[in-house]
A and B are shown apart, each in its own frame.
Chain A
Amino acid sequence: GAVVSQHPSWVICKSGTSVKIECRSLDFQATTMFWYRQFPKQSLMLMATSNEGSKATYEQGVEKDKFLINHASLTLSTLTVTSAHPEDSSFYICSSHSPDYGYTFGSGTRLTVV
């Protein structure tokens, strides 16, 4: 079946630094990639939707300059948390959508900003 590989699975960074999270679709092309943020014991909050080769569409309240999303190819999408602060600590999950495989979720990235 379809697999989305998400890396890193966890990362600790210092306040003010930037962190990049990658999601790669293996053996299939992800026309759309969704990026979610999940707070402890809460549901997934959609942050943005990206389509290959075009700018991401951000949900209301999500700072596009802080959460940079790049979907340069049909197999790679990245989320960069810029100038991270402790309040950005969270679990970030990507999900691809393709006509053949539907939705496929990455395994998530636990970000801790200290």
Chain B
Amino acid sequence: GNSVTQMEGPVTLSEEAFLTINCTYTATGYPSLFWYVQYPGEGLQLLLKATKADDKGSNKGFEATYRKETTSFHLEKGSVQVSDSAVYFCALRPAGGGNKLTFGTGTQLKVEL
């Protein structure tokens, strides 16, 4: 079946540090890949997505590249801010139809001054 594996958190960084949150997946074909962000007490917001191999999703300084050869979709940001503190979820939508998302376990990011 489909699965998403994320690095465990929490990840604690100083403001302006470089961020990487690893995400790898298991799925057949070419699933669509997503990063969602969840702030405390809130639902999920789409951060970025990529629908085919080598696509790069980007938003608000965050980037992730769909790597089919390594089945990865790592999230990166060059300079984090305190306001980026949240939980980040990697997710996939299977190829060939179907709307169910499979989520990773989430990675909590804490950014300190």
Contacts and interface: CB of A to CB of B under 8 A. Distances in A.
Interface string A12-30: 0000000000000000000
- Main SS of chain A's interface residues? strand
Given A34-B100, A97-B99, A103-B46, A110 B41 contact: yes
Given A93-B43, A105-B45, A108-B41, A43 B104 contact: yes
Contacts, number: 45
B55 to A, nearest CB: 15
A105 B43 contact: yes
Interface residues on A, range: 20 to 34
A103 B101 contact: yes
A69 B41 CA distance: 23
Interface of B: 34, 36, 41-46, 89, 99-101, 103-106, 108
